Amino acid sequence: MEYRFDKFTLSKARVELRSNDALVALEPKTFDLLLFLVENHHRAVSKDQVLEAVWPGVFVSDASISQSLKQLRRALGDDGKNQNFIKTLRGKGYRFVADVTEVASKPATPRDPPLSTLQGQQTHQLPGVAVLPFDLVGETNGDLIMSVAIAHDVIQALSRLHWLRVIARATAFQFKDRPLNEVTEQLGVKYCLTGTIERLADRLMITVELVDLLRNSIVWVDQFEGSVDDVHDLRAKIVRGTMASIEMRISRHEARFLQSAATESLDAWSSFHVGLVHMYRFTQSSNARAISLFDRAISLDPAFAKAHAALSFAHFQSAFNVYEGTDTAQSTKIAIAAAERSLELDEFDHFANFVRGRACWLTGDLEPGLDWVSRSIEINPNFAQGYYSKGLLGVLSDTDIDFEGASEQATLLSPMDPLIYGFHGIRALGYLNQGAYSDAALWANKSANAPNALVIMDLVAVIANDLAGHGDAAQRWASRALERYPGIDGGYLFSALPFRNPDFQTVALQVLGKYGI
C-alpha cells in the first residue's frame, strides 16, 4: 500500500518516503511514526496509542516523542505553528490532517522485495548476518589491522547466538568495498553489520551500524569513543555493545513488520517474534497472547528450541505475577517442562539455560537456579538478563554474590532492557538484606518508577522507604500497590521472592502490616 498526500508518496512495502521523486531520509522510528499517523488519518490518536504502535514494549519520554514529531515535521516542511500535516490536539493526542489518497504499491524490485516475501521466511531459514571489515575515515595511521580485528571479534561473539546464521570471516571479508546488494544476493543474508573508524589525534571514534539489506533500512547504530592507547578495551566494549543490542534489535525489527498480519498467516519464526513483543509488555492480556503465539510456533515447528524457552518465560510470568485466574501450580509445571524441552533441543542456548534457572525459583530451588543462570552467562558473557537473575538469585538465597556488580553489568549491557526495573530492583533487595536502608530506598524508588515495573516493586519500595525513615514515601507506594492490586499482602511478596533470610521476612511483614498490606 502507498499513501499520497501533497507532494509526498509514503510506501509501506518499500519503507520509504518520497517528495515527488526524491527520497526523503527518515530515521526508522520517525518513519514508523509517520506511517502510523497516516494510516489513521481519519481519526485522532492518543499518545498512548502512538507509544504502543511505534515503541512497543519500550519506555520513551515525552521529550523523545516530541523530538520525533519535530524531525518528522521538518522532513515534511511543516512546523509546530502551522501544522499543515500533523496537528497536535492538546490533551487528546495527534491527527494527520492532510488529505490522503491510498493507492496500490508499485511492483517491488528484486533488491527491494515485497513484505510478503519477507514474511514467508521459514523457521529453519535463520536470519543471516554478514560482518564486513570496518571502513577507515581520514588519517589511517596504519589502522587497517584494527578494521579487520574488530570485525573478527564481532563475528566470533555473534557465533554464540545459535538462532543467528553468521557468515564466516573468510567469506564475508571478500565483500569488503562491494555493493551491499551483492551481499544479500550472493550470501543469502538479511542483515549486514558494518562500521567506520575515525582517528582524531589520539582518540578513536568507531561507529557500528546494522542494516536490513532487504528493506534498505538501518536497524541499529551506535558510536563508541576511546583513546588509541585503550584500543583493546574499546574493542571489547564494541563487542559487548553489539552483542547486547543485536538480539533485541533484530527481534523487534522482525516483529515490527509482522504485528499487523493475521495469526494464521504467520509461520513459526514470525509467531515467535511477535510473541516476544507481547511477552515483554508485562500485562496479563499481552502475556496470554504471547503464550498462544509461542504455542503456534511450536505446533508449526516442534524442534524450535527458542520458542519452547519463550513459552517457559511467559508461563513463569503468569505464575510469578499470580495473574487473575491463573493456576499457579500448572503454570509452574509448564514453565519447567518447556525450559527442559528447550534444553533438550539446544543445551548451548543461553536463553534456554536462563529460563530453566528462573523456573527454579518458582519451586524455591534457588541453588540449582543459580547454577543454570550462571551457565547462561558462561555461554553468552554479554547476556544482560543472565547477570540480573544471577544477582537476584544470589540475594534470595543469601549467597555471597556481588549483586551490585550484577546490576551494573546488566544495565551496562542493556540500558533499555524490558527488565530494567529488575536490574535496579536487585540492588534494592540486596541492600535491604544487608540493612543498608537508605541505599535500598534509593534503588527501590528507581525500580518502582521504571517502565514495566511490577506491583511487587511497589511493596519493596514500601519496605525500603519505611525502614529508611521515609514514611510519606512508603505510604504513597502502599497506596499505589493497593490501587493496582486490591487485597495484595505480604504473602504475595514472599511467594514470588522466596527469601532465605527469616529475619528479613519478619521485618518486612511487620512493615507492610503498618500500611494495611
Of the pLDDT bands very low, low, confident and very high (cuts 50, 70, 90), residue 449 is very high
CA distance 466 to 444: 11
Of the pLDDT bands very low, low, confident and very high (cuts 50, 70, 90), residue 122 is very low
Q: What is the CA radius of gyration of the chain?
A: 24
Q: pLDDT at residue 326 above 80?
A: yes
Q: Which residues pair with 194 in a beta bridge?
A: 209
Fold category of 258-381 in CATH: 1.25.40
* Amino acid, single-letter form, for residue 55: W
pLDDT, position 12? 79
**pTM score > 0.85 for this model?**
no
pLDDT, position 140? 56
464-494 CB burial, b ≥16 within 10 A, e <16:
bbbbbebeebbbbbbeebbeebeebbbebbe
Give the up-direction half-sphere exposure of residue 325: CA atoms within 13 A in the CB hemisphere.
3
Q: Are 314 and 333 in contact (CB under 8 A)?
A: no
**DSSP character at residue 196:** E
pLDDT, position 126? 67
Fold category of 384-517 in CATH: 1.25.40
384-517 matches 258-381 in CATH topology: yes
3-state secondary structure of 221: strand
CA distance 401 to 22: 57
CA distance 133 to 130: 10
Element (DSSP H or E) covering residue 290: helix 284-300
Degrees, nearest 5: CA angle 457-459-462 = 115
Average confidence (pLDDT) over 79-83: 74
pLDDT, position 342? 93
Highest-pLDDT range among 147-156, 414-423, 505-514 = 505-514
**DSSP character at residue 132:** P
Name residues whose C-beta falls within 8 Å of residue 493's C-beta, 6 or more positions apart in sequence. Answer: 456, 459, 460, 508, 512
Q: Are 426 and 447 in contact (CB under 8 A)?
A: no
Element (DSSP H or E) covering residue 199: strand 191-200
The torsion region of residue 498 among left (phi > 0), alpha (psi -120 to 50) and beta comes to beta
Q: Are 297 and 307 in contact (CB under 8 A)?
A: yes
CA distance 29 to 72: 10
CA distance 133 to 172: 9
Q: pLDDT at residue 148 above 90?
A: no
The domains of the chain are located at: 2-103, 115-248, 258-381, 384-517
3-state secondary structure of 81: coil
Q: pLDDT at residue 222 above 80?
A: yes
Give the count of beta carbons closer than 10 Å to the beta carbon of residue 201. 8
pLDDT, position 469? 96
User: Among positive and negative, which fits the CA dihedral 182, 184, 188, 192?
Assistant: positive
Which among 268, 52, 9 is positioned nearest to 163, based on CA atoms? 268
| Cα distance from N-terminal residue to C-terminal residue, the chain | 53
* Dmax (CA) of the chain: 71
Q: pLDDT at residue 243 above 90?
A: no
* Amino acid, single-letter form, for residue 131: V
State the residue for C-alpha cell 492490586. 485
CATH number of 2-103: 1.10.10.10
**Residue 142, C-alpha cell as written in the block:** 596504519
- Worst-scoring range by mean pLDDT, 59-63, 228-232, 420-424? 59-63
Which among 146, 132, 145, 157 is positioned nearest to 204, based on CA atoms? 146
- Worst-scoring range by mean pLDDT, 49-63, 124-138, 191-205? 49-63
Task: Give how far Cα 120 sits from Cα of 25, 111, 219, Å.
Answer: 28, 16, 20
CB burial of residue 408 (10 Å; 0-12, 13-18, 19+): middle
3-state secondary structure of 166: strand
CA distance 16 to 23: 7
CATH number of 115-248: 3.40.50.10070
Q: pLDDT at residue 477 above 80?
A: yes
Task: Give how far Cα 113 sits from Cα of 2, 26, 105, 165, Å.
Answer: 15, 20, 12, 21
Average confidence (pLDDT) over 219-244: 84
Q: Are 367 and 383 in contact (CB under 8 A)?
A: no
pLDDT, position 462? 97
**Residue 465, C-alpha cell as written in the block:** 522507604
